[in-house]
Amino acid sequence: MHRPPLPPPQSWRRLIALALEEDIGPGDLTTNAVVPEGAVGEAVVEAREPLVVCGGEVAAAVIRSLDSDTRIEQPREDGSSATHGDALLEVRGNLRGLLVAERTALNVLQRMCGVATHTRAYVDAVADTGARIVDTRKTLPGWRVLDKYAAAVGGAINHRMGLFDGVLIKDNHVALAGGVAAAVKAALAAAPRGIRVQVEVESEADAVAACDAGADFLLLDNCTPDELRAIVANVGDRALLEASGGITLENVRAVAKSGVQRISIGALTHSAPAVDISMEVRARGAATT
């Protein structure tokens, strides 16, 4: 599976700084009391359950922000699979720094691996149907670029990053515009060059009206597989069709087999469970500088 490029550090560095600031405050009372200031040693960050690896470089940046001289190896690249006991990061550096960074680094890995793992389950569920899984803007505030990166690592297509890089006419836009046709025509007239217009519809009649108004990209919201099949039969040669709403691992394959090309799922990012990852210090590697 193709691995997407990690977003540039400037797009997530502030998030890491905020996370460390809220955790450390004026200092780690426990580590400063228990661990000698110059102690150097090794640690391994490992999976405690099967997962899709994601976020190693971000977690490494967390650790290095406490000690830039820390040596970090990443045995498994993002997008690969890991199982219980597999090392995700192998670290050697100042032990105070490692312990201070531990929780934030693990929080990053647990979320990013969790999103990638959850997404991969949906991608695997629709294998060989021709449908693609798509993420949404239902991300944790501040985490947009990393959540979407993790979804892409899991095999999803990234939809628009925000309101600024795509046009999606939702039900409230339709209501305020006076109907599907009016909303589509207004959006097509105003959309910047190169920006495709997508419109949300909830019925076969609205799908036809949207296509008649010039839409070629429909979001089919909360439709049953039977309703999706009817829309595919009626306008499938006129528009790219994306199903959304109420999608679960139990029904996603039935939705995919309706003939839609895309299935967007907010749960990829708003409901992905954190995976179990731990960091263990290898005391035998400890030394004092």
* Token pair in block for residue 171: 């039900």
pLDDT at 85 (0 to 100): 97
Mind telling me the catalytic residues?
103, 138, 170, 200, 221
Q: What letters, b where the CB count within 10 A reaches 16 and e where it falls short, cover 16-25?
A: beebbeeeee
The single residue listed with the structure tokens 């839409």 is: 215
Do residue 81 and residue 217 come from a single domain? Answer: no
pLDDT at 283 (0 to 100): 59
Do residue 130 and residue 263 come from a single domain? Answer: yes
pLDDT at 285 (0 to 100): 45
Phi/psi at 142 (nearest 5 deg)? 90, -20
Do residue 79 and residue 158 come from a single domain? Answer: no
pLDDT at 103 (0 to 100): 98
Do residue 155 and residue 260 come from a single domain? Answer: yes
Phi/psi at 102 (nearest 5 deg)? -50, -55
Do residue 132 and residue 104 come from a single domain? Answer: no
pLDDT at 1 (0 to 100): 64
Phi/psi at 201 (nearest 5 deg)? -130, 155
Nearest to 38 by CA among 97, 81, 119, 83: 97
Residue 128: Cβ-neighbour burial (10 angstroms; 0-12, 13-18, 19+) = exposed
* Token pair in block for residue 54: 């994601």
134: number of Cβ within 10 Å: 21
Determine how β-strand 132-134 pairs with β-strand 262-264: parallel
4 part of a folded domain = no
pLDDT at 2 (0 to 100): 72
Q: How far is CA 196 from the centre of its chain?
A: 22
Instruction: Give CA–CA dist 283/260, Å, rounded.
Output: 55
How many domains are there within the chain?
2
* Token pair in block for residue 49: 């359950």
Q: Which residues make Cβ contacts (< 8 Å) with residue 267, sequence separation at least 6?
A: 118, 247, 248
Do residue 110 and residue 178 come from a single domain? Answer: no
* Token pair in block for residue 236: 């499938």
Do residue 84 and residue 165 come from a single domain? Answer: no
* Token pair in block for residue 260: 């839609």
Do residue 154 and residue 236 come from a single domain? Answer: yes
Do residue 252 and residue 283 come from a single domain? Answer: no
Do residue 14 and residue 110 come from a single domain? Answer: yes
Query: CATH number for the domain including 218?
Result: 3.20.20.70
Do residue 278 and residue 214 come from a single domain? Answer: no
Q: Which residues make Cβ contacts (< 8 Å) with residue 27, sequence separation at least 6?
A: none
Contacts 24+ apart (CB under 8 A), 238-245: 238/211, 239/207, 239/210, 239/211, 239/215, 240/216, 242/134, 242/198, 242/217, 242/218, 244/136, 244/200, 244/219, 244/220, 245/221
Q: Tell me the whole-structure pTM to 2 decimals.
A: 0.95
Residues shown for the chain: 289
Phi/psi at 150 (nearest 5 deg)? -65, -40
Do residue 94 and residue 110 come from a single domain? Answer: yes
Predicted confidence pLDDT, tens digits, the chain (289 residues): 678 999 999 999 999 999 999 999 999 999 999 999 999 999 999 999 999 999 999 999 999 999 999 999 999 999 999 999 999 999 999 999 999 999 999 999 999 999 999 999 999 999 999 999 999 999 999 999 999 999 999 999 999 999 999 999 999 999 999 999 999 999 999 999 999 999 999 999 999 999 999 999 999 999 999 999 999 999 999 999 999 999 999 999 999 999 999 999 999 999 999 999 999 998 544 554 4
The single residue listed with the structure tokens 């207004």 is: 186
List the domain range (segments joined by +) for residue 243. 126-270
Amino acid at 79: G
Query: CATH number for the domain including 65?
Result: 3.90.1170.20
Instruction: Give CA–CA dist 84/87, Å, rounded.
Output: 9
